[in-house]
């Protein structure tokens, strides 16, 4: 948050005069947003990033304040929650605290100074929670990076896919105005960790859609359990593990997760994984997106179309080219295994060329970088290269 940006407050009450009054008293120091009911408020929380404090009335039609703040707590746990109620009875207070874990409980009519003081404390609480979250995030991502490096040594095929999926998912989150989505970044990084238990050859067959034997299928089905055992003792990794677990749920269960951290993270990561698998099997961007559109029941039509726009579907056609390896560019997708002269696998089919890879290939000698390889050039990359050469 910049020094000039005011803290964002969401006031929710079915009486318009109440929210208008709150807005009038608070707008000097806060960026105030209002809603007339819980459903409208939940939509605004999804649309407006960085809400610090939610102030809600208790008695509202459709969904009461306690239930509403409970949903806020589950989807946006760092947001400070304040409940206003005209019923100061014990039962009402207990219900609100237990269901919504509110930060402050105020009775109506509430003096403006008391409301401002409660909101100010709520903003401080929000900032403290986010500061603590940032430290935990750095620590967790550091641990995850160490595990990622182990995966790179143990199973380069799984490492390559995890690297591509992480980049795809985080770039998609940024493109859809979900920056700093650390849970998604961590889940994408760890999405292939369970494959360390499988032989590299089996991982390749699984990734490229080849038919598996009954025994191989059994081994692959055990990958999620392996991942859980590797991750379950890492503290504060619960939301990441929930995203990874939900990848294997039925469509109806995924839809019920909603648009909070877990639900949105699961669908974004799921789209990235399925798209990566389709491209690795040699499909163009347009064909891959057409296939994903048949999965509306899982991912939602709106999110799929945002993903299609992000990867450039329908804008231009991807190109398959045969090039010498030294001419490769970042973003090209290799359509064959690349090995050294003695058969050591350097990168597998489906690998997306990175800056690190280009810096590394020169170490294998002039004959290695002079070999011809088939690559898929995504449409956006092809347009960029044509513009640069023209």
| pLDDT mean over 19-30 | 89
Residue 314 has pLDDT above 70, yes or no: no
Q: Which domains can be identified in the chain, with CATH numbers?
A: 8-129 (3.40.50.2300), 155-315 (1.10.3210.10), 316-390 (no CATH)
The answer to whether residue 212 scores a pLDDT higher than 70 is yes
Shortest CA distance to 150 belongs to which of 208, 199, 195? 195
What confidence score (pLDDT) does residue 290 get? Answer: 94
Q: HSE of 204 in the Cβ direction (CA atoms, 13 Å)?
A: 14
Q: Which pLDDT belongs to residue 344? A: 82
pLDDT over 90 (residue 342): no
> For the ranges 134-143, 260-269, 344-353, which has the lowest average pLDDT?
134-143
* 3 pLDDT above the threshold of 50: no
What are residue 32's DSSP bridge partners?
9
Mean pLDDT value across residues 281-291: 88
pLDDT beyond 90 at 33: yes
Q: How confident is the model at residue 355 (pLDDT cuts 50, 70, 90)?
A: confident
Q: Which residue has the higher pLDDT, 282 or 131?
A: 282
For range 37-52, the mean pLDDT? 89
Residue 216 has pLDDT above 80, yes or no: yes
Sign (positive/negative) of CA torsion 342, 345, 351, 352? Answer: negative
- Sign of the Cα pseudo-torsion (289, 293, 295, 299, in order): positive
Q: Which of 16-20, 134-138, 318-322, 329-333 comes out lowest in average pLDDT? A: 134-138
101 Ramachandran zone, left/alpha/beta (phi>0; psi -120 to 50): left
Q: Give the residue-averaged pLDDT of 241-251.
A: 92
Higher pLDDT, 284 or 372: 372
Confidence of residue 331 (pLDDT cuts 50, 70, 90): confident
Lowest mean pLDDT among 273-282, 370-379, 380-389: 380-389
In 3-state terms, what secondary structure has residue 140? helix
Highest mean pLDDT among 105-109, 166-170, 283-287, 290-294: 290-294
Q: What local confidence, expressed as pLDDT, does residue 101 receive?
A: 65
Q: What is the mean pLDDT of the chain?
A: 83
| pLDDT at site 5 | 80
Rounded to whole angstroms, the Cα distance separating 271 from 86 reads 46
pLDDT for the residue 1: 46
Q: What percentage of residues in the chain have a pLDDT greater than 70?
A: 85
Q: Which residues of 209-227 are buried (b: 16+ CB within 10 A; e: fewer)?
A: eeeeeeebeebbeebeebb
> 263 versus 104: which is more confidently predicted?
263
Q: How much is the average pLDDT of 296-307?
A: 95
**Cross-strand partners of 107:** 85
Q: pTM for the complete prediction?
A: 0.59
Is residue 2 scored above 50 in pLDDT? no
Asked if the model's pLDDT at residue 297 lies above 90, the reply is yes
Please tell me the predicted confidence (pLDDT) of residue 210. 84
Angstrom distance (rounded) from CA 188 to CA 130: 22
Per-residue pLDDT of 217-235, as tens digits, reads 999 888 888 888 888 877 7
Residue 387, pLDDT score: 43
Sheet with 372-377: strands ordered across: 319-324, 372-377, 333-334
**pLDDT band at 108; cut points 50, 70, 90:** confident
């Amino acid at each position: 948050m910049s020094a000039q940006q005011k803290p964002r407050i969401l006031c929710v009450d079915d009486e318009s005069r109440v929210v208008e009054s709150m807005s009038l008293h608070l707008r000097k120091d806060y960026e105030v947003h209002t809603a007339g009911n819980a459903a409208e408020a939940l939509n605004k929380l999804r649309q407006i990033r960085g809400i610090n404090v939610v102030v809600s009335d208790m008695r509202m039609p459709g969904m009461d304040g306690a239930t509403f703040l409970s949903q806020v707590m589950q989807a946006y746990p760092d947001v400070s929650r304040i409940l206003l109620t005209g019923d100061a009875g014990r039962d009402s207070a207990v219900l609100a605290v237990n269901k919504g874990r509110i930060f402050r409980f105020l009775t109506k009519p509430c003096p403006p100074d008391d409301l401002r003081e409660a909101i100010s404390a709520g903003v401080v609480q929000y900032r403290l929670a986010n500061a603590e979250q940032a430290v935990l995030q750095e620590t967790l991502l550091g641990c995850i990076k160490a595990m990622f490096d182990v995966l790179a040594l143990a199973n380069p095929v799984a490492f390559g896919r995890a690297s591509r999926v992480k980049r795809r998912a985080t770039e998609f989150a940024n493109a859809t105005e979900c920056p700093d989505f650390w849970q998604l970044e961590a889940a994408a990084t760890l999405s292939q960790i369970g494959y360390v238990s499988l032989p590299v050859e089996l991982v390749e067959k699984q990734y490229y859609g080849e038919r598996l034997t009954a025994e191989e299928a059994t081994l692959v089905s055990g990958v999620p359990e392996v991942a859980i055992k590797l991750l379950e003792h890492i503290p504060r990794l619960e939301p990441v593990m929930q995203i990874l677990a939900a990848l294997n749920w039925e469509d109806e269960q995924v839809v019920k997760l909603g648009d909070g951290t877990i639900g949105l993270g699961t669908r974004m990561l799921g789209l990235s994984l399925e798209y990566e698998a389709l491209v690795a099997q040699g499909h163009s961007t347009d064909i891959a997106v057409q296939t994903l559109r048949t999965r509306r029941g899982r991912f939602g039509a709106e999110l799929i179309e945002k993903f299609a726009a992000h990867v450039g579907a329908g804008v231009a056609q991807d190109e398959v080219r045969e090039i010498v390896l030294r001419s490769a560019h970042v973003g090209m997708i290799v359509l064959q295994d690349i090995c050294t002269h003695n058969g050591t696998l350097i990168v597998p089919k489906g690998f997306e060329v990175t800056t690190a890879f280009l810096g590394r290939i020169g170490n294998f000698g002039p004959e290695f970088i002079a070999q011809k390889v088939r690559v898929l050039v995504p449409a956006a990359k092809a347009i960029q290269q044509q513009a640069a050469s023209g």
